[in-house]
Structures are given as C-alpha cells and as structure tokens.
Structure 1
C-alpha cells in the first residue's frame, strides 16, 4: 500500500490491508464509517504517537472536542484548523509514506 488512492480504494475490501499498522487500520475503519472499530484499533496503543494522533482525530470526528483536545495535546499537536476529510487525508498520506 503506497498511495492514498490505493488505500482509499481498499475500503471496499472486507478488512484493512494486512500490512497496515494500528493507526492506518483505524483510519481505514473510520473511512469505512465504523468509528467504534477504528477506536478499538488505537485504544490499545496509547502512547504510540501515530495512534495518539489518530485517536485525537477520531474524537474530533465524534464531536468530543474536550477528549480530542487532550489527545492532540498529548501528541504535541494543535487541534487542526482543517476539515475532518483534509485531516484524514494528511494523516493517511503521512502514515503511508512511512510504511
């Protein structure tokens, strides 16, 4: 999985790509509309920077800005001033570039 377009297209599969780490799996499930499953992917990886950033994104998506803010602060990042879609794209592109 090297491109964001290929990653987005993979959402039609039954499961995330087998080589995707927890943070990418969470983004995959979020893009598919399964917030709870996405949250499960990162919940067990607290303290891992990529998972913490995706965790923040998920709580922002949920509308829980207090919790999202905590996760952004934990990751040393400000709450993004972009749409959720733009944030998802940026997170996915960054994680894919490093995978």
Structure 2
C-alpha cells in the first residue's frame, strides 16, 4: 500500500493493518478520532520518526510548547499547514518507508 486513498480505506476496519509501522498505526487511530490511542502508541518512543508523529499529535491537542519540543526532537519545524494537511503528509511519508 502506497497511496493515501488506500490507507484511508483501511480506516473502515476495526483495527489497523498489523503490517503498519507504529507511526502509521498512530496516525490511523488519530484519523479515526482516537487521539488518546494514537498518543499511547508513540508516547514512550524516542526515535525521530515517532517524535515527528508525537509533535503532530501535540499540535493537534493545542499544546504548542510540547509540540515544538517534539518537532525539535524530530529535527523538523512546525509546519504552516492545516492539521489535516500535516496528517496527510505524515501518512504519505510513512507509507513510502
């Protein structure tokens, strides 16, 4: 699976695809409206890819200070796009990994 429509189609299922990376699973749960489950999956991870998803989740939560901390950990800048656009960019990035 390499496309955003394919990823979004999986969101009709009750659980994410077991082959998804932890980052994609987190984004999947967030896309289904379960921010807490999304956060729980990556909360204790310190690698840069997980930090990037963590940053997005805190930005979505409205916790800009915490989001900026995680963006720095991910070596990324907080984007000047909508949350929906950032979610799609993240999903596409991780689908290509």
- For normalisation by structure 2, the TM-score amounts to 0.96
Contact 2:48–2:75 under 8 Å retained in 1: no
- Higher mean displacement: 37-46 or 21-30: 37-46
Higher helix share: 1
Count of residue correspondences: 97
SS at match of 1:12: coil
Structure 2 spans left out of the alignment, 5+ residues: none
2:17 aligns with 17
2:68 aligns with 69
Give how far 1:9 is off. Answer: 1.3
Q: Which runs of 4+ in 1 moved over 4 A?
A: none
Give how far 1:22 is off. Answer: 0.7
Q: For 2:59 and 2:78, locate their aligned partners in 1 and report how far apart those are by CA, in whole Å.
A: 9
SS at match of 1:2: coil
2:38 aligns with 38
Does residue 56 in structure 1 map to residue 65 in structure 2? no
Contact 2:10–2:17 under 8 Å retained in 1: yes
Give how far 1:31 is off. Answer: 0.2
- Over aligned residue pairs, what C-alpha RMSD do you find? 0.8
Does residue 7 in structure 1 map to residue 7 in structure 2? yes
Structure 1 spans left out of the alignment, 5+ residues: none
- For normalisation by structure 1, the TM-score amounts to 0.94
